[in-house]
């Protein structure tokens, strides 16, 4: 019951606010939406407390039948297990905080209720995704969050750049979704069901099946796992399908915090954890996940080091952190991945909301080169953002330390070639993370103010309604690590997660984590401290140095600044050819070649203009009659001639 | 069930049309008003009868219901036979639903109103008759008869190049249906009857089946706008008056797909299995090729038109998987597509009625000036791209489920529509609703009015209801589709079916 309230309250809030907006006015509509989220958050905390702390028995909340065609019969239902409850709790709490924050941030927007309808609907879709009991409902939530993400990225739709970013996000996501959908179809074909329990029960039976693809026989489970993972790559902005996420920063900042940091982009990680019984039986898929995740962690961090837009830096950071989560799933430590997901949700939402507070104070300035010295003006934002930054850099006792270092330890302990590669990327990434995070903080808050005097004069701390969520999230960034760590990934982690996450080889990697050499265990932390040191040297002690370095290696700098040229590459091999093909098909293919034949015939059959004049002058009934007679003649001929 | 419900629904519109010519004598305003109201009431009455029929339909009964049978030309085995099963039921319903929508959408039409309304009622007679005919000759007459009102609707009330488009439409469909006439003669000669139920149980030699299949492909392929037989369509859709386009896209394009289901699959099982890969190829090429063509369009009406054709590719693939999921998906998609495409064309019409240009580079910024309109358009676009929660998704995923049973690549390539449709539809949304306003200042920018609410809201509700609870539809045609698939598989003695399968134990 509580779970149903948590999931459905945001939907009710959105619908009421949307429908009642013209009658009740602007502020009540917004209030309705926020109130519904507060209710949802309270209900979610209640459910989590009852089931995860008090240990009440989990059960399934069935809402109704969706499709029912033969054996393809997915239901609408809310699944209750540790994995879904952890997600529901996080999503509701973070979303409620961001709703509150948005009341301040969006106060001057022209269509504020629209914004709230969108984010409440988004929250509903995300909760449907998290509580899905079958792949198809998960896909419903998956596409629902995608739609809301599209609408919110393009929220300020009179800006061309926002429109482009929104369309790009939807299309890139859809590329992943296509593979996801085929994966769902193949899962149904193989397992005879899309219900999670039925799928997990059938893994052993399906494991020997092979699929004939690319001229060879591939194990079916590998094919399914890879297809699902490609879907996850799209939603979670992993290498090759990551290009939409930085552009998505065109949306209002609370959206970046909620959708593009805390919740939606982690859906891919959630899905791979949810499907872990299947994916664990697919070693090649696990290796692919490890490599993609690990490399994304490194690659996105390199880009983050040279970006100048405060939100884009954090966006690349998100991309990189999602890579860590996939690395955890890939090496067989999905619980740590989910642990990092939860920690990340708090500290990354905090960083984005803090960035929003800065942007708000500086009259929409987002370039860190034009900030500096803001800590006196924005003391609360400053302190809370440092909390988030230290969590991201993974400095104890902040939360990131407990999860990110555990991921890297697990990767080291896994011992396969791919895991070592992942460890290497992740560890280097840890150093880079520290560098770009501290760079961001130093450029924004420390040093001499570089903003114009006029802007500075107006710079002010945000209102209380925006600061309270910041403080709440900062407490989260400080505490979730050591509070949740022992339960989530401690010695008795298996009891906590129950059957909701499966682990390959009975969780051997989780256990082996403690046995790795001390140097490997400490390496990420050491590199992080080094990263902090270098950032301090570059941006505090010798501010001229970065520019000189960029001049020394212009190629490398441009390579990073242009984000490894992925956008240019895709533009050249996908976007422009697609448009050219489209024009060619229409002009040459459709209009001239295929159409040429019938057009020629039409000309042969008579003068079209003559027909025109007769049609317009004559009576329609006569022509109708003539045609009917013609038809009858035709029929008669065939009857007589038989 | 002997109160001739189907005949009543079929001939009532014709009676309405005749009534129009009896009541008014000349083309004055009163006649026009009479014609409008007669058309509306007649079509609404038919809609009520259709609801009665759907409610009275028993999905657990095998075979046809509401059957009517009368001797016509007994010496030649030709009869007046009508009836519906789970498959045709909803097409009769769809025709009955969309005719009043089209009539209501043409309320402002002022040129030769009586003739116009009569043409639409005649069209309803022909389509309902076609979907409920159980005699091949009767089917053929209705199938051809659809041409007459549609030709007039395009040719008289169309856009600038209407005559060109009408002639092209007429020639294409007429040429396409001649092979069917030959097939009809042959089958009648072979079986001695034109009773479709008996024809379904008449064995035909496989070599002959191939020829008959090609004949059917030509006639139904033109109607369903299967690539590359689709080229009449952009002109016809583009030039027809909007209500005509709605009927073309939502109802007439389904006639072809219905023909495949009614004739090709049950009567020509071996040929269907033989041509299966070929039909997949046509469907997939259609989806990809037409989607790209849609992307290049600069006019919103033509973009929606191309989008409509691209979805027909999905339907063709679904039908020819000959699986329960695939065919149910295709049927569902046909109904959903009927609703969604009709709604999208209505949305285009709303722009037209406000004096907006239909050129995409002259629209823009309507989201802030017409928020209700924007919400509706967004909903229908999302249904068109198959977002879960809308009716479009159910058809799409079911076709994919069916396709994966045939072949991995078919499923993947059919799914490319998911990406491609988003490409052109979002470009359209952007150009129409978003960006800065580009349109001329004097365009009327009132949001949608009561009549337009009345048109769009029911369609929106249906799209959502079918998206969240598709069972209301699938449980009615489920039995008929299962019978069809089982009969088809039983007809195939050897393993001709499933040549593309890739699974190994």
CB pair distance less than 8 Å for B168 and A598: yes
Q: Does B411 touch chain A (CB under 8 A)?
A: yes
| Phi, psi angles (nearest 5°) of residue B446 | -65, 145
- Residue A377 contacts by C-beta under 8 Å, 6 or more apart in sequence? A361, A456, A459, A460, A461
Q: How far is CA A64 from CA A60, A126, A537, B464, in A?
A: 12, 19, 61, 15
pLDDT in tens, B233-292: 888 888 888 888 888 888 888 888 999 988 888 888 888 888 888 888 888 888 888 888
Q: Which of A160, A587, A638 sits opposite B181 (nearest CB)?
A: A638
B78-84 and A216-219 beta bridge pairing: unpaired
Of B372, B434, B481, B500, which to mutate for an interface test with A (greatest number of A Cβ within 10 Å)? Answer: B434
Of A181, A220, A578, which to mutate for an interface test with B (greatest number of B Cβ within 10 Å)? Answer: A181
Q: Which of A174, A598, A624 sits opposite B419 (nearest CB)?
A: A174
Q: Identify the pLDDT of residue A620.
A: 46
CB pair distance less than 8 Å for A147 and B382: yes
Q: Which of A69, A595, A624 sits opposite B324 (nearest CB)?
A: A69
| Phi, psi angles (nearest 5°) of residue A550 | -60, -35
CA distance to partner chain A, nearest, from residue B29 (Å): 19
- Residue B468 contacts by C-beta under 8 Å, 6 or more apart in sequence? A66, A76, B389
**B496, pLDDT greater than 60:** no
Quick one: which of A526, A163, A144, B60 has its CA closest to A136?
A: A144
CB pair distance less than 8 Å for A158 and B436: yes
Q: Identify the pLDDT of residue A605.
A: 47
CB B341 within 8 A of CB B312: no
Q: How far apart are CA B289 and CA A135, in angstroms?
A: 30
Q: How far apart are CA A605 and CA A602, in angstroms?
A: 5
Tokens linked to A295:
């490399």
Say how many C-beta atoms besides its own lie within 10 A of residue B255's C-beta.
23
E strand or H helix at A587: none
Q: Identify the pLDDT of residue A592.
A: 57
Q: How far apart are CA A22 and CA A20, in angstroms?
A: 6
CB pair distance less than 8 Å for A186 and B293: no
CB A185 within 8 A of CB B404: yes
Say how many C-beta atoms besides its own lie within 10 A of residue B421's C-beta.
25
Of A65, A67, A217, which to mutate for an interface test with B (greatest number of B Cβ within 10 Å)? Answer: A67
Q: Identify the pLDDT of residue B384.
A: 92
CB pair distance less than 8 Å for A181 and B415: yes
CB pair distance less than 8 Å for A111 and B151: no
pLDDT in tens, B378-434: 999 999 998 998 998 999 999 999 888 888 888 888 888 888 888 888 888 888 888
CB pair distance less than 8 Å for B404 and A66: no
CB B448 within 8 A of CB B373: yes
Mean pLDDT rounded to a whole number for chain B: 83
Q: Prior bond to A397 cis, omega within 30?
A: yes
How many Cα neighbours within 13 Å face the side chain of B282?
Answer: 23
Quick one: which of A203, A111, A121 has its CA closest to A157?
A: A111
Tokens linked to A521:
């265990």
| Phi, psi angles (nearest 5°) of residue B150 | -70, -40
Q: How far is CA B46 from CA B14, B42, B68, B98, B116, in A?
A: 11, 6, 18, 11, 18
Q: Does A157 touch chain B (CB under 8 A)?
A: yes
Tokens linked to B209:
């089946």
Q: Does B49 touch chain A (CB under 8 A)?
A: no
Tokens linked to A564:
């490894």
Q: % helix / strand / coil in chain B, to the nearest 5?
A: 75, 5, 20
In chain B, the percentage of residues whose pLDDT exceeds 70 is 94
Q: How far apart are CA A238 and CA A286, in angstroms?
A: 15
Q: How far apart are CA B255 and CA B85, in angstroms?
A: 15
**B1, pLDDT greater than 60:** no
pLDDT along chain A (642 residues), means of 10: 87 87 82 90 89 81 84 87 90 91 85 88 92 92 92 87 88 90 91 89 84 79 92 89 86 88 90 91 90 91 88 91 92 90 91 89 82 82 90 88 89 87 91 90 84 78 87 89 84 82 79 82 88 85 80 80 80 77 70 55 47 44 51 52 45
Q: Does A171 touch chain B (CB under 8 A)?
A: yes
- Look up the ipTM and state it: 0.88
| Phi, psi angles (nearest 5°) of residue A72 | -85, 95
Q: Identify the pLDDT of residue A400.
A: 87
Q: Does A638 touch chain B (CB under 8 A)?
A: yes
DSSP A138-184: HHHHHHHHHHHHHHHHTSSTTSHHHHHHHHHHHHHHHHHHHHHHHHH
User: What is the arithmetic mean of pLDDT over B139-162?
Assistant: 83
Minimum Cα–Cα distance from B430: chain A residue: A163
Instruction: Return the SS3 of B296.
Output: coil
Say how many C-beta atoms besides its own lie within 10 A of residue A46's C-beta.
16
Quick one: which of A614, A617, A629, A598 has its CA closest to B165?
A: A598
Q: Identify the pLDDT of residue B24.
A: 65
- In sign, the C-alpha dihedral spanning B357, B151, B458, B399 is negative
Q: Does A592 touch chain B (CB under 8 A)?
A: no
**B443, pLDDT greater than 80:** no
CB A449 within 8 A of CB A374: yes
User: What is the arithmetic mean of pLDDT over B321-342?
Assistant: 89
Tokens linked to A627:
């045609």
Q: Does B422 touch chain A (CB under 8 A)?
A: yes
Q: Does A636 touch chain B (CB under 8 A)?
A: no
CA distance to partner chain B, nearest, from residue A143 (Å): 7
Q: Prior bond to B228 cis, omega within 30?
A: yes
Q: How far apart are CA A148 and CA A121, in angstroms?
A: 7
Q: How far apart are CA B38 and CA B174, in angstroms?
A: 31
Q: Which tops the pLDDT comparison, B187 or B443?
A: B187
Lowest mean pLDDT among B10-14, B171-175, B305-309: B171-175
Q: What residues 242-301 of chain B have any CB closer than 8 A to a CB of chain A?
A: 289, 292-297
Q: How far apart are CA B314 and CA B384, in angstroms?
A: 12
Quick one: which of A445, A248, A254, A443 has its CA closest to A352?
A: A254
Of A111, A158, A162, A185, which to mutate for an interface test with B (greatest number of B Cβ within 10 Å)? Answer: A185
Q: How far apart are CA B153 and CA B187, in angstroms?
A: 33
A611 contacts in chain B (CB < 8 Å): 163, 167
CB pair distance less than 8 Å for B423 and A171: yes
User: What is the arithmetic mean of pLDDT over B360-370?
Assistant: 77
- Residue A553 contacts by C-beta under 8 Å, 6 or more apart in sequence? none
**B458, pLDDT greater than 80:** yes
Q: Which of B144, B292, B367 sits opposite A585 (nearest CB)?
A: B292
A61-65 and A75-78 beta bridge pairing: antiparallel
B168 contacts in chain A (CB < 8 Å): 598-599, 602
Q: Identify the pLDDT of residue A627.
A: 54
Q: How far apart are CA A483 and CA B23, in angstroms?
A: 84
| Angle at CA of residue B199, ends B499 and B323, nearest 5° | 30
Tokens linked to B148:
């007459």
Tokens linked to A15:
């619908």
Q: Identify the pLDDT of residue A599.
A: 54
Q: Does A73 touch chain B (CB under 8 A)?
A: no
Q: How far is CA A629 from CA A610, A621, A636, B137, B152, in A?
A: 22, 12, 10, 16, 16
Residue identified by tokens 């879960």 is B388
Say how many C-beta atoms besides its own lie within 10 A of residue A541's C-beta.
9
Instruction: Return the SS3 of B390.
Output: strand
Across the A:B interface, residue pairs with CB atoms under 8 Å apart total 212
Of B35, B384, B404, which to mutate for an interface test with A (greatest number of A Cβ within 10 Å)? Answer: B404
Quick one: which of A630, A637, A623, A634 has its CA closest to B122?
A: A623
Minimum Cα–Cα distance from A616: chain B residue: B156
- Residue B475 contacts by C-beta under 8 Å, 6 or more apart in sequence? A68, B59
Residue identified by tokens 């079918």 is B466
pTM: 0.88
CB pair distance less than 8 Å for B155 and A615: yes
| Phi, psi angles (nearest 5°) of residue A146 | -65, -45
Q: Which of A189, A615, A624 sits opposite B404 (nearest CB)?
A: A189
Alpha helix segments (H runs only) across A236-333: 244-247, 253-257, 267-274, 276-279, 283-304, 310-330
């Amino acid at each position: 019951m509580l779970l149903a309230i948590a999931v459905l309250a945001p939907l009710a809030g959105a619908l009421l606010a949307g429908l009642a907006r013209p009658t009740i006015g602007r502020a009540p509509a917004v209030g309705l939406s926020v109130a519904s989220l507060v209710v949802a958050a309270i209900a979610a905390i209640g459910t989590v407390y009852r089931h995860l702390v008090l240990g009440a028995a989990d059960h399934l909340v069935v809402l109704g039948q969706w499709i029912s065609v033969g054996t393809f019969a997915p239901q609408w239902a809310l699944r209750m297990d540790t994995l879904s409850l952890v997600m529901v709790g996080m999503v509701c709490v973070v979303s409620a905080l961001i709703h509150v924050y948005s009341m301040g941030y969006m106060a001057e927007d022209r269509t504020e209720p629209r914004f709230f309808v969108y984010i409440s609907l988004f929250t509903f879709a995300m909760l449907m995704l998290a509580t899905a009991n079958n792949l198809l409902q998960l896909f419903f939530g998956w596409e629902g969050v995608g739609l809301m993400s599209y609408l919110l990225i393009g929220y300020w739709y009179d800006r061309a750049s926002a429109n482009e970013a929104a369309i790009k996000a939807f299309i890139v996501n859809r590329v992943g979704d296509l593979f996801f959908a085929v994966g769902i179809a193949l899962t149904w074909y193989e397992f005879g069901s899309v219900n999670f329990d039925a799928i997990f029960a059938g893994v052993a039976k399906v494991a020997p099946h092979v699929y004939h693809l690319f001229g060879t026989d591939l194990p079916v489970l590998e094919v399914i796992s890879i297809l699902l993972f490609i879907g996850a790559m799209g939603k979670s902005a992993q290498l090759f399908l990551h290009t939409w996420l930085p552009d998505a920063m065109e949306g209002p900042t609370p959206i970046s915090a909620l959708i593009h940091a805390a919740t939606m982009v982690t859906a891919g990680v959630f899905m791979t954890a949810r499907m872990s019984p299947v994916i664990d039986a697919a070693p090649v898929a696990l290796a692919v996940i490890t490599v993609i995740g690990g490399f994304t962690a490194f690659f996105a961090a390199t880009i983050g080091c040279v970006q100048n837009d405060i939100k884009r830096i954090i966006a690349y950071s998100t991309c990189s952190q999602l890579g860590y989560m996939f690395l955890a799933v890939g090496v067989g430590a999905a619980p740590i991945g989910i642990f990092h997901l939860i920690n990340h949700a708090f500290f990354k939402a905090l960083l984005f909301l803090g960035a929003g507070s800065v942007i708000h104070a500086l009259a929409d300035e987002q370039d860190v080169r034009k900030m500096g010295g803001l800590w006196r003006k924005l003391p609360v934002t400053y302190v809370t953002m440092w909390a988030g930054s230290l969590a991201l850099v993974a400095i104890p006792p902040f939360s990131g330390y407990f999860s990110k270092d555990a991921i890297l330890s697990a990767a080291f302990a896994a011992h396969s070639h791919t895991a070592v590669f992942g460890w290497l990327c992740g560890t280097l990434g840890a150093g880079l993370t520290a560098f770009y995070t501290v760079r961001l903080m130093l450029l924004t808050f420390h040093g001499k103010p570089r903003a114009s005097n006029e802007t500075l004069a107006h710079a002010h701390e945000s209102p209380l309604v925006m600061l309270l969520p910041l403080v709440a999230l900062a407490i989260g960034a400080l505490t979730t690590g050591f509070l949740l760590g022992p339960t989530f990934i401690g010695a008795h982690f298996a009891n906590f997660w129950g059957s909701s996450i499966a682990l390959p080889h009975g969780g051997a990697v989780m256990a082996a984590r403690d046995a790795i050499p001390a140097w490997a265990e400490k390496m990420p932390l050491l590199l992080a401290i080094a990263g902090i040191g270098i950032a301090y040297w570059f941006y505090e002690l010798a501010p001229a140095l970065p520019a000189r370095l960029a001049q020394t290696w212009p190629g490398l700098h441009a390579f990073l600044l242009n984000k490894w040229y992925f956008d240019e590459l895709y533009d050249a091999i996908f976007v422009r050819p697609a448009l050219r093909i489209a024009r060619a098909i229409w002009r040459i293919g459709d209009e001239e070649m295929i159409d040429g034949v019938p057009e020629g015939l039409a000309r042969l059959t008579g003068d079209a203009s003559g027909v025109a004049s007769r049609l317009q002058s004559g009576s329609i009934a006569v022509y109708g009659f003539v045609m009917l007679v013609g038809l009858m003649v035709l029929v008669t001929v065939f009857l007589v001639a038989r | 069930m002997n109160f001739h419900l189907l005949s009543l629904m079929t001939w009532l519109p014709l009676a309405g049309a005749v009534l129009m010519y009896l009541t008014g004598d000349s083309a004055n305003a009163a006649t026009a008003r009479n014609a409008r109201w007669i058309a509306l009431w007649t079509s609404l009455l038919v809609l009520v009868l259709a609801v009665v029929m759907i409610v009275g339909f028993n999905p657990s009964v095998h075979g046809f219901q509401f059957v009517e049978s009368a001797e016509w030309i007994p010496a030649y085995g030709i009869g007046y036979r009508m009836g519906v099963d789970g498959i045709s039921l909803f097409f009769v319903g769809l025709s009955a639903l969309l005719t009043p929508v089209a009539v209501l959408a043409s309320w402002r039409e002022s040129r030769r109103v009586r003739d116009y309304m009569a043409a639409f009622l005649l069209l309803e007679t022909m389509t309902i008759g076609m979907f409920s005919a159980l005699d091949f000759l009767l089917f053929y007459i209705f199938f051809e008869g659809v041409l007459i009102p549609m030709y007039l609707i395009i040719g008289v009330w169309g856009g600038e190049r209407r005559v060109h488009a009408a002639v092209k439409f007429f020639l294409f469909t007429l040429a396409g249906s001649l092979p069917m006439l030959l097939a009809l003669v042959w089958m009648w000669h072979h079986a001695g009857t034109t009773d479709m139920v008996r024809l379904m149980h008449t064995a035909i030699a496989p070599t002959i089946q191939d020829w008959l299949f090609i004949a059917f492909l030509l006639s139904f392929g033109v109607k369903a706008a299967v690539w590359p037989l689709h080229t009449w369509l952009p002109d016809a859709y583009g030039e027809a008056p909007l209500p005509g386009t709605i009927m073309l896209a939502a109802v007439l394009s389904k006639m072809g797909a219905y023909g495949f289901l009614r004739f090709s699959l049950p009567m020509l099982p071996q040929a269907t299995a033989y041509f299966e890969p070929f039909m997949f190829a046509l469907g997939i090429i259609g989806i990809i090729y037409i989607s790209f063509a849609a992307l290049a369009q600069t006019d919103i009406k033509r973009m929606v038109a191309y989008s409509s054709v691209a979805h027909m590719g999905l339907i063709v693939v679904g039908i020819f998987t000959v699986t329960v999921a695939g065919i149910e998906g295709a049927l569902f998609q046909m109904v959903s597509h009927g609703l969604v495409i009709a709604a999208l064309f209505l949305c285009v019409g709303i722009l037209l009625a406000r004096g907006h240009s239909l050129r995409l580079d002259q629209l823009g910024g309507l989201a802030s000036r017409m928020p209700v309109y924007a919400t509706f358009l967004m909903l229908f676009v999302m249904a068109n791209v198959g977002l879960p929660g809308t009716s479009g998704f159910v058809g799409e995923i079911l076709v994919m489920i069916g396709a994966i049973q045939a072949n991995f690549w078919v499923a993947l390539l059919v799914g490319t529509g998911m990406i491609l449709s988003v490409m052109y539809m979002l470009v359209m949304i952007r150009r129409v609703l978003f960006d800065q306003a580009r349109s001329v200042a004097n365009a009327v920018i009132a949001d949608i009015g009561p009549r337009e609410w009345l048109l769009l809201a029911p369609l929106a509700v249906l799209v959502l209801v079918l998206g969240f609870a598709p069972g209301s539809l699938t449980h009615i045609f489920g039995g008929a589709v299962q019978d069809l698939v089982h009969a088809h598989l039983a007809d195939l003695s050897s393993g001709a079916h499933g040549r593309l399968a890739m699974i190994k134990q």
